[in-house]
Chain A
Amino acid sequence: MHWLARQALRLIVVLFCVTLLTFLIVNILPGDVATAILGGLATPEDLAGLRADLGLDRPMLVRYFDWLGSALSGDLGRSHRSGEPVAQAIADRLPVSLQLMVMAQVIALGVAVPAALLSVRRPGGLFDRLSASAAFGFLATPSFMLGILLIYLFSVTLDLLPATGFSPMSEGLWANFESMILPALSLGLIEWTVLMRVLRSDLLTTLKEDFILLARAKGLPPWRVLLQHALRPSSFTLITVVGLNIGGLIGGAVIVEQIFALPGVGRLLLGGIFNRDLILVQGTVSFIAAGFVLVNFLVDMLYAVLDPRVRHVRFRS
């Protein structure tokens, strides 16, 4: 089968499993939305009536396939709580979350790649040892801790940046940037550590290759050997880890959006969970899962861009 067709099939299977699993988990959460809406003093008759209105009295699998059918046509249902369409709620909050994650990823790569390149210039040297210690330090810090530390440092002590709250781009790029930089840092400063270690170790392997010797024999200065010959063939594991880490990044974003009071998808999800708003949670989690799978699919495509050998195997059989 063609590589693309195989990938697409895999995508469908994974999404089916993920949405079904989410549906099951969401439905066995203790507590229910009717109680959450009507309060603890409602009579059993009122609760049952509301559940019937919301269609929650039908068997679980029936409800799942019902949901799946509309989801495929882009309709994720309406929030039990607010009546707002779930798809719309996600679309409203998505830009904030995307911006947060893109900025975090840029920070992570922006620190990791130069740090790895500088480390391998002299393995075991001062910079290598310092960056390794820094990496392990950050790796051991949870993102919410880092977020709080950053708020303490930049907002409370130095009074440079707003502690919480979000300014949309319509209020000016700088205001927007100011409101996003600390949240992005609390994610990115943890993410870079793994990326740096992975890239460093692959660079060290590549640097032992004969083609690196040949590049040096051409008279290329060390930094050109590193950037033009060693970096690209060393970046495949890095790319994979970036893709896989999106999962961790999303998890981190849910927490960080909470700490910094950012109106993103993560906060939408948490709100849904607290309200037992099953349909909202189902929609949000499925959306996130689809995003994760899709990003990893794109990462896989990126291999073909970076490595002509992969291109060869995939598209010329």
Chain B
Amino acid sequence: MSGAVSGGPLLSVRDARVGFGTVRGLLRAVDGVSFDLQAGRTLGIVGESGSGKSVLVRSLIGLVGTGSGAIVGGEVRLDGQDLRGLSAASFRHLLGRDIGIVFQDPMTSLNPVMKIGRQIGEGLRLNRGLDSAAAARRAVELLVEVGIPEPERRASQYPHELSGGMRQRVAIAIAIACEPKLLIADEPTTALDVTVQRQILDLLQREQRERGMAMILITHDLGVAAGRADDIMVMYAGRAVEMATTREIFRGPRMPYTEALLRSLPRLTDPTHTRLSAIPGRPPDLARRGTGCSFAPRCTYRSGRCEAEEPVLSREGGRGFACFNPLGTSGGAGA
């Protein structure tokens, strides 16, 4: 696999921050998130709606900021190269070649008035220097690869002529067209029928393995990440609150929020019609952040310290969690 610095991570993010200036003051959508992603591996980013998952990944690839009055900070390196220091033109070049992205809703992420084949071929012409005939041929091959029947006919159709699942396959074809090193999938199945969700996730996973891409898989459902992500980062209110391998997370979460997310998953062992426990309460207002742990008001394990002091993500044997009363210790759930 690639990797300019031998052994170094493909993607390295340090202290990523995104703030939006709103009428109610600065809204800290992402507040100091750091992580590394090795080539060929999958990182699942999990968290409730509004926890800053989309804003985080979009800020990494320069897709928030222009025009929206966003303030973006922190350091992002791809293959050791500092992305924030690049000129606009070199950054676009790198974005088109090395990073692919799949958005949540395939109804809105494809251009409604452009033929599908052209939307796939566009990046190839720009980033790989293919002429339009070659790009059109390659687009058809890619449609075959993502499992779309009658690819020639589909290539000359418009997005509205395809079902949601097929559109998401097209979006995946666009994302992988230029052989990126990193694939970002932002809730790629949330807008789809349950029956096609699994197919799309399997397709993503297969493409990722065959191409040796690294993948960031965003989801609000830990179950989606379960069999597919190597590592999981749990986000809450713009921060990373727990980071560990998927296996560790499912064996025993340390952060109470992660546990709450796990509890809200349906389990095969549950008797049918068991009510899933939704997490009570609501996430904090990101423009009015108080002192202390932002999960404290909803946490069953909170202590006085949680309301006075902000826990930072501490590492303990490779896993990180931001909690004063972590589970699996005498102070937490183990008690």
Question: Which A residues are closer than 8 A to B by beta carbons?
Answer: 122-123, 207, 209-211, 213-221, 228-229, 232-233, 306-309, 312
Question: Which listed residue, B58, B92, B122, touches A213 by the CB 8 Å rule?
Answer: B58
**Does A219 contact B127, Cβ atoms closer than 8 Å?**
yes
Residue among A229, A306, A308 with the most chain B CB within 10 A?
A308
Please judge, given known A-B contacts A218-B123, A219-B93, A233-B111, whether A309 and B63 are in contact too, CB under 8 Å. Answer: no
Question: Which listed residue, B67, B99, B108, B123, touches A123 by the CB 8 Å rule?
Answer: B67
Question: Does any Cβ of A come within 8 Å of B61's Cβ?
Answer: yes
CB-based closest 7 A-B pairs: A219-B96, A308-B158, A210-B109, A218-B123, A210-B108, A219-B92, A211-B111
**Does B63 contact A306, Cβ atoms closer than 8 Å?**
no
Q: How far is the CA of A229 from the CA of B67 in the complex (A)?
A: 18
Question: Which listed residue, B96, B108, B160, B174, touches A209 by the CB 8 Å rule?
Answer: B108
**Does B112 contact A211, Cβ atoms closer than 8 Å?**
yes
Please judge, given known A-B contacts A123-B67, A213-B103, A214-B101, whether A219 and B111 are in contact too, CB under 8 Å. Answer: no
**Does A218 contact B158, Cβ atoms closer than 8 Å?**
no
Write out the residue numbers on chain B whose beta carbons fall within 8 Å of the beta carbon of A211: 108-112
B93 to chain A, nearest CB (A): 6
Please judge, given known A-B contacts A213-B58, A219-B92, A220-B126, whether A309 and B110 are in contact too, CB under 8 Å. Answer: no
**Does B113 contact A307, Cβ atoms closer than 8 Å?**
yes
Please judge, given known A-B contacts A218-B96, A218-B127, A229-B111, whether A213 and B63 are in contact too, CB under 8 Å. Answer: yes
Write out the residue numbers on chain B whose beta carbons fall within 8 Å of the beta carbon of A218: 95-96, 122-123, 126-127, 174
**Does A217 contact B126, Cβ atoms closer than 8 Å?**
no
B contacts with A, residue count (CB < 8 A): 32
Question: Which listed residue, A122, A123, A233, touches B112 by the CB 8 Å rule?
Answer: A233
Please judge, given known A-B contacts A209-B108, A211-B110, A213-B103, whether A219 and B123 are in contact too, CB under 8 Å. Answer: yes
**Does B99 contact A309, Cβ atoms closer than 8 Å?**
no
**Does B108 contact A219, Cβ atoms closer than 8 Å?**
no
Q: How far is the CA of A214 from the CA of B101 in the complex (A)?
A: 7
**Does B113 contact A232, Cβ atoms closer than 8 Å?**
yes
Q: How far is the CA of A217 from the CA of B111 in the complex (A)?
A: 13
Question: Which B residues are closer than 8 A to A by beta carbons?
Answer: 58, 61, 63, 67, 89, 92-97, 99-101, 103, 105, 108-114, 122-123, 126-127, 158, 160-161, 171, 174
Write out the residue numbers on chain A whose beta carbons fall within 8 Å of the beta carbon of B110: 211, 214
Please judge, given known A-B contacts A214-B103, A217-B63, A221-B92, whether A309 and B160 are in contact too, CB under 8 Å. Answer: yes
Closest to A307 in B: B113
**Does B99 contact A217, Cβ atoms closer than 8 Å?**
yes
* A218-B95, A219-B96 known, 6 other contacts, Cβ within 8 Å: A123-B67, A209-B108, A216-B63, A218-B123, A218-B174, A307-B113
Closest to B98 in A: A219
Write out the residue numbers on chain A whose beta carbons fall within 8 Å of the beta carbon of B108: 209-211
Please judge, given known A-B contacts A214-B174, A312-B160, whether A220 and B92 are in contact too, CB under 8 Å. Answer: yes
Write out the residue numbers on chain A whose beta carbons fall within 8 Å of the beta carbon of B122: 215, 218, 220
B175 to chain A, nearest CB (A): 8
Write out the residue numbers on chain A whose beta carbons fall within 8 Å of the beta carbon of B158: 308-309, 312
B2 to chain A, nearest CB (A): 18
B25 to chain A, nearest CB (A): 20
Closest to A308 in B: B158
**Does B109 contact A308, Cβ atoms closer than 8 Å?**
no
Residue among B58, B109, B174 with the most chain A CB within 10 A?
B109
Q: How far is the CA of A122 from the CA of B174 in the complex (A)?
A: 28
Write out the residue numbers on chain B whose beta carbons fall within 8 Å of the beta carbon of A219: 92-97, 123, 126-127
**Does A306 contact B95, Cβ atoms closer than 8 Å?**
no
Q: How far is the CA of A123 from the CA of B66 in the complex (A)?
A: 11
Write out the residue numbers on chain A whose beta carbons fall within 8 Å of the beta carbon of B93: 219
**Does A217 contact B113, Cβ atoms closer than 8 Å?**
no
Write out the residue numbers on chain B whose beta carbons fall within 8 Å of the beta carbon of A214: 101, 103, 109-111, 171, 174
A-B contact pairs, 7 of them (CB 8 A): A122-B67, A211-B110, A211-B112, A213-B58, A214-B101, A217-B63, A219-B95
Please judge, given known A-B contacts A217-B99, A233-B113, A312-B160, whether A210 and B126 are in contact too, CB under 8 Å. Answer: no
Closest to A236 in B: B113
Closest to B94 in A: A219
Write out the residue numbers on chain A whose beta carbons fall within 8 Å of the beta carbon of B127: 218-219
Q: How far is the CA of A233 from the CA of B160 in the complex (A)?
A: 14
Q: How far is the CA of A214 from the CA of B95 in the complex (A)?
A: 11
Q: How far is the CA of A309 from the CA of B89 in the complex (A)?
A: 34
Write out the residue numbers on chain A whose beta carbons fall within 8 Å of the beta carbon of B103: 210, 213-214
